[in-house]
Structure 1
Amino acid sequence: MTKILMVCLGNICRSPLAEGILKSKLPEDYFFIDSAGTANYHVGNSPDKRSVAVARKYGLDITNLRGRQFNISDFDEFDMIYVMDESNFKNVIKLARNDDDIAKVKLILNEIYNNQNYDVPDPYYGGDEGFENVYKMLDEACDIIAEKLK
């Protein structure tokens, strides 16, 4: 089974959306997808209501997801770790123990824009439109990831 982790800052906006989107594109018999945050602000919390709403708009239910913090053992548990922005990348890499850990970590939008290192913007402090834009970015990136993995 291939295990994939999506990581953002608080694990209530971007990474739960990415988790839900990728889960909808891959068979659960062969893939395990989870999400985490680099900070501990929202451990145990449900996704942001705006993430839940945009997911629902596209037929996905992420209401059962709960925030958790990324930890070193995630390098052992997961085959691939997708981060949402450069700050998340740096925070995850700081915990890496070796080159094998580092090799698992990728910026998710590099799946669309190879080696451009674009960030998925954090929509938390903005309006609903930001969540819609983030959904579309993640959906496109997850299409590419799913195609590569099938």
Structure 2
Amino acid sequence: MRILFLCLGNICRSPAAEAVTRQLARQTGLELHLDSAGTGPWHVGEAPYAPMQRAAHARGYDMSNLRARQLTAADFEHFDLILAMDADNLREAAARRPASARAELRLFLHKANGPDAVPDPYYTRDFDGCLDLIEEGARALLSGLAH
């Protein structure tokens, strides 16, 4: 299974979702190909946002080797599932989706109990709240894949 996590700039939510899901998948023995991207170009090539990295590191997640990139048309062919952090990024991905795309588009939290969106901590400054939602979403995702 190939999964792409998607947010706006690919420096907070989607790289955190990639790192959290990767670690939890390893713990459960699931073999997944994971990546993350943003709908916008502003941070391409940059490491995840330092406050997000610190919050993730405090919980045992390493995001230091990740670099921001922008969603491409090829992603819709390469990945089985593209999970957006909020409705705006889901709409943006749907608008860019090629007619021949094979990837399924969904909200990241579609199987979790609670809100539909992971608020952007770049603006809210709530990095721990963001990680709480990402951990819940990753557990729900992995539970669904394991069954």
Is the contact made by 1:85 and 1:107 (CA closer than 8 Å) also made in structure 2?
Answer: yes
Is the contact made by 1:81 and 1:106 (CA closer than 8 Å) also made in structure 2?
Answer: yes
- Aligned partner of 1:34 in structure 2 is 35
Aligned length: 144
- Aligned partner of 1:7 in structure 2 is 6
Distance in structure 2 (CA, Å) of the matches to 1:81 and 1:50: 25
- Aligned partner of 1:20 in structure 2 is 19
Percent of counterpart pairs with the same letter?
35
What is the Cα-based RMSD across aligned positions, in Å? 1.9
Unaligned runs of 5+ in 2: none
- Is structure 2 residue 111 aligned with structure 1 residue 111? yes
Distance in structure 2 (CA, Å) of the matches to 1:89 and 1:126: 20
Is the contact made by 2:77 and 2:101 (CA closer than 8 Å) also made in structure 1?
Answer: no
Equivalent position to 1:120, from 105, 112, 118: 118
Q: 1:118 aligns to what SS in structure 2?
A: coil
TM-score of the superposed pair, with normalisation by structure 2: 0.91
Q: 2:121 aligns to what SS in structure 1?
A: coil
Is the contact made by 1:107 and 1:117 (CA closer than 8 Å) also made in structure 2?
Answer: no
Distance apart, 1:51 and its partner CA: 1.1
Is the contact made by 2:82 and 2:106 (CA closer than 8 Å) also made in structure 1?
Answer: yes
Q: 2:124 aligns to what SS in structure 1?
A: coil
Distance in structure 2 (CA, Å) of the matches to 1:148 and 1:42: 32
Per-residue CA deviations over 1:7-48 (Å, capped at 9, x if unaligned) read 000000100100000001114872111000000000000000
TM-score of the superposed pair, with normalisation by structure 1: 0.89
Unaligned runs of 5+ in 1: none
Q: Which amino acid aligns with 1:106?
A: R
Is the contact made by 2:9 and 2:41 (CA closer than 8 Å) also made in structure 1?
Answer: yes
Q: Which amino acid aligns with 1:137?
A: L
Distance in structure 2 (CA, Å) of the matches to 1:25 and 1:99: 32
Per-residue CA deviations over 1:71-93 (Å, capped at 9, x if unaligned) read 11001110111000111011100
Q: Which amino acid aligns with 2:11?
A: I
Distance apart, 1:50 and its partner CA: 1.1
Distance in structure 1 (CA, Å) of the matches to 2:104 and 2:77: 10
Distance in structure 1 (CA, Å) of the matches to 2:4 and 2:115: 18
